[in-house]
Amino acid sequence: MKRLSDNVIVMGNGYFNFYLLGNEDAVLLECGTRAGAAIFKQQWQELEPKPVVKHIVILHSHFDHACGLPILKELFPDAEVLGSAAAQKFLSKEKIVKDLYRNDAIASELYLKHGLIQEKPDTSELGFLGVDRAVGEGDILELASGLSLKFLDAQGHSACSIAAYLESDQVMFVSDATGYRSSKDTISPVFFQDYDLYISTLNKLKSYPSTVLGVAHGDISTGDEIKEFYQSTLQAAEDCYALIKTHLNEGMDENELARLLFDRYIKGGLAYYPEEMMLGSMYLLIKNVKGK
Ligand SMILES: [Fe+2]
């Protein structure tokens, strides 16, 4: 738990960041996994004074950003859940939600195995994962305290990705839209939807003056680190694209290439994700380069 600006604190254990915006009426950004939300719940109980959480934002609907929602709704039953129209649509489909929970349960097992959590969260019952109101590019959420949060479309990682910008504090909440710092020297590119959209989202987000970059996982860049982070993550995406293109042109088998990408990029916090899912994501990277 750490204060990042006058109106923003970060909670969670670093693998899953939860952002509380506002000291009176508040917005909670990011829902994490069930394991992540259980950690948030403990921290919430210790937090004094507590703001009143009026809104919860799902910045995209991947399992590690949505499955914590039932735990958060137990804490904040009256909060309105916001997300993109695409997230609202995905999360209304029973089969998709079942898959999300299946991955969430696998991830919980891995966290337990690696000592990141002490107790396995209850994964027996599927909770509600609905978005109450769709938001997108240019929509503004005004809080009673006078704070306003602007939403931006942030596609490229996924079709359902949005970002949010708190102009008063110059804090940009990007979720996974800007890549995943999987080690000190590696940013894993995550253009799982589309490469060009991913790059144009990075360039758009980069154009907003920011003192805090609220990523969903791992270290939060501040001040001068932000410019450097954007440069590094753009470079990482371009390098990954070139690497895939070169190997495909050389005739490398796609299964071998997917394994090569997995070994290169799936480390740090990403190593605690379901292997089958992450390997599948490497095929998405390949597909998104092949299609160009
Ligand atoms: Fe994601």
Confidence (pLDDT) at 126: 66
For residue 6, give Cα distances in angstroms to 20, 175, 256, 269.
11, 20, 49, 29
Distance of CA 78 from the midpoint of ligand 1 (Å): 26
Distance of CA 4 from the midpoint of ligand 1 (Å): 23
Distance of CA 192 from the midpoint of ligand 1 (Å): 9
Beta-carbon count within 10 A of 288 CB: 21
Distance of CA 48 from the midpoint of ligand 1 (Å): 31
Ramachandran angles phi, psi of 221, nearest 5°: -75, 145
Distance of CA 146 from the midpoint of ligand 1 (Å): 31
Distance of CA 190 from the midpoint of ligand 1 (Å): 8
Distance of CA 270 from the midpoint of ligand 1 (Å): 11
Distance of CA 176 from the midpoint of ligand 1 (Å): 5
Distance of CA 60 from the midpoint of ligand 1 (Å): 7
Per-residue pLDDT of the chain (292 residues; tens, 9 = 90+): 899 999 999 999 888 999 999 999 999 999 999 999 999 999 999 999 999 999 999 999 999 999 999 999 999 999 999 999 999 999 999 999 999 999 999 988 888 888 888 887 776 666 678 999 999 999 999 999 999 999 999 999 999 999 999 999 999 999 999 999 988 889 999 999 999 999 999 999 999 999 999 999 999 999 999 999 999 999 999 999 999 999 999 999 999 999 999 999 999 889 989 999 999 999 999 999 998 8
For residue 87, being part of any structural domain is answered with yes
Rounded distance between C-alpha atoms, residue 270 and residue 156, angstroms: 19
Ramachandran angles phi, psi of 231, nearest 5°: -60, -45
Distance of CA 154 from the midpoint of ligand 1 (Å): 12
**Is the full-model pTM beyond 0.85?**
yes
Distance of CA 62 from the midpoint of ligand 1 (Å): 5
Confidence (pLDDT) at 120: 76
Vertex 31: Cα angle to 187 and 91 (nearest 5): 100
The β-bridge relationship of strands 133-134 and 187-188 is unpaired
Of the candidates 66, 75, 80, 81, the residue with the CA atom closest to the CA atom of residue 126: 66
For residue 135, being part of any structural domain is answered with yes
Distance of CA 161 from the midpoint of ligand 1 (Å): 8
For residue 17, being part of any structural domain is answered with yes
Distance of CA 175 from the midpoint of ligand 1 (Å): 8
For residue 264, being part of any structural domain is answered with yes
Distance of CA 250 from the midpoint of ligand 1 (Å): 30
For residue 1, give Cα distances in angstroms to 39, 147, 254, 279.
11, 21, 42, 32
Distance of CA 144 from the midpoint of ligand 1 (Å): 31
What residues make up the domain containing 249? 2-286
For residue 48, being part of any structural domain is answered with yes
For residue 164, being part of any structural domain is answered with yes
For residue 291, being part of any structural domain is answered with no
Q: How many domains does the chain have?
A: 1
Distance of CA 89 from the midpoint of ligand 1 (Å): 16
Confidence (pLDDT) at 3: 97
Distance of CA 147 from the midpoint of ligand 1 (Å): 27
The string of pLDDT tens digits covering residues 182-223 is 888 899 999 999 999 999 999 999 999 999 999 999 999 999
CATH number of the domain where residue 106 is located: 3.60.15.10
Asked whether the beta carbons of 227 and 209 are under 8 A apart, the reply is no
For residue 292, being part of any structural domain is answered with no
Distance of CA 208 from the midpoint of ligand 1 (Å): 22
- Per-residue DSSP letters for 194-234? -HHHHHHHHHHHHTS--SEEEESSSPPEETTHHHHHHHHHH
